[in-house]
Amino acid sequence: MKKLILKLFVAFVVLPAVIAGSMYWLNENGFFNINQVEIVLVDSPESQANFYSPMADKLEKQMLSFKGQSLWSVKLSQVVGILNSQNWIEHHSISRSWPSVLTVKIKPHDIKLVYLGKNGKYMPIISDGSFLDTVDSRQAPDVMLVEGENFLQQKQLRQKAVKVLKEIPTEGSFSKKTISEMRYDTKDGFSMTLMKTGIKVKMGEEQVGIKSARVSQVVDYLQTRQFDARVIDANLSKKVLVRLRNDP
């Protein structure tokens, strides 16, 4: 019975005390001091790498102040404060990678559109229609442009544009890959410009997915027949109207 009590005492009192003492000694002697703050981007589109990489590098420099602090006692609230101040971050998580690495996982906002300002600056637009910080052409995400003062002034219009974008297919003759820019006016609604041909496509505001399929068929037909179109008007009930460049 005494041996059992002794074993229990060693297991539940002595060993934990030894471990705690060892950890304390190691911590006091800098064994758990942070020597790296690892920034990991998750679910980040490759097409937007040129936009997010400089921001991740800047964030990594901001995190240098935590190097040398104990991984045990570092105030994660301060790390969270820095992360929450970054408007390009949608979600983040922080974890300790023992013995000396602080890991920050970041899911950046997916850039849906980019507004082209008069000063030649590019303003990324996220899913809720908000703007992120202005960047130059070298850092601008490779997504569709929106042009027109109305997009700058009206967040609701930017939200509509994001919804329209969702209905446009990713692949095909009329798709996110083949459209260079989007505009809006109260008469015709949304219109897009095709990247290679410069054809203006009037889409309106409703049934964009159905209209996109029709426009793809028309574009394929025009390419096959080698017709030089100027405008494709899909903002009609059941048909698509094409105006050629030599039309009046």
Strands (E), 15-100: 36-41, 89-97
Is residue 85 assigned to a domain? yes
pLDDT digit string (tens) for 158-202?
999 999 999 999 999 999 999 999 999 998 899 999 999 999 999
Residue 74's closest CA among 105, 106, 32? 32
Same domain, 193 and 208: yes
- Cβ proximity of 115 and 84 under 8 Å: no
* Final residue of a structural domain among 108, 123, 139: 108
- pLDDT of res. 79: 93
Instruction: Phi first, then psi: give them for residue 174, nearest 5 degrees.
Output: -120, 100
Same domain, 56 and 99: yes
Q: Which helix (H) or strand (E) holds 218?
A: helix 208-225
Same domain, 173 and 221: yes
**Is the previous residue joined to 54 through a cis bond, with omega within 30 degrees of 0?**
no
Is residue 141 assigned to a domain? yes
Could you tell me the pTM of the whole model?
0.84
Show the low-confidence residues of the chain (pLDDT under 70): 1-32, 247-248
Instruction: Phi first, then psi: give them for residue 19, nearest 5 degrees.
Output: -65, -45
Is residue 55 assigned to a domain? yes
Is residue 11 assigned to a domain? no
Same domain, 142 and 185: no
Domain count, the chain: 3
Output DSSP code: residue 109.
P
Same domain, 236 and 176: yes
**Structural domain range at position 58:** 36-108
3-state SS, residue 161: helix
pLDDT digit string (tens) for 74-91?
889 999 999 999 999 999
